[in-house]
Amino acid sequence: MTKVLVLNGPNLGRLGKRQPEIYGHTTHAELAELCTGWGADLGLEVEVRQTNHEGQMLDWLNAAADDGLPVVLNAAAWTHYSYAIFDACAQLTAPLVEVHISDPHQRPEEFRHTSVVTPYAVEVIAGHGIDGYRMALEVLARA
């Protein structure tokens, strides 16, 4: 079974509470359970992690690069400005799928229209809510 990391960045631990009109009512714990189940159905061993600490995310991405693990990444706010995340994504040796619950390009804040992750992603899935994670796992299952 292929191991896949689903990595979520800042504030995503508050899913279900934070702006449910944008991000929905599913909690991060529920998302993790869904991802694990979807992955199992696809023959993937899924590990879901969330952090509000950029250095922790970098450590996880570096370890994924070293171990050759595919990654589903929702870098959240770091998507738009973190060159450290950009550099870590550049080191990945297995496929990376970028996922966003909302569609950053449809959001009014101009800064959300730029992604430092996209250059290294085999696919970007945005605006499909929590289901975007299932779609991202399907991409990795086919890779």
Q: Three-state secondary structure along the chain?
A: CEEEEEEECCCHHHCCCCCHHHHCCCCHHHHHHHHHHHHHHCCEEEEEEECCCHHHHHHHHHHHHHHCCCEEEECHHHHHCCHHHHHHHHCCCCCEEEEECCCHHHCCCHHHHCCCCHHHCCEEEECCCCHHHHHHHHHHHHC
Q: Is 25 annotated as a binding residue?
A: no
Residue 112's pLDDT is 65
Catalytic site residue 81? no
Q: 1 pLDDT exceeds 80?
A: no
Residue 18's pLDDT is 81
Any idea where the domains of the chain sit in the sequence?
A: 2-142
Average pLDDT over the chain, rounded to whole?
A: 93
Q: Which of the following is catalytic: 100, 113, 120, 133?
A: 100
Residue 17's pLDDT is 87
Residue 102's pLDDT is 80
Interval 78-102: pLDDT, tens: 998 899 999 999 999 999 999 999 8
Interval 45-56: pLDDT, tens: 999 999 999 999
So what CATH class is 2-142? alpha beta
Catalytic site residue 53? no
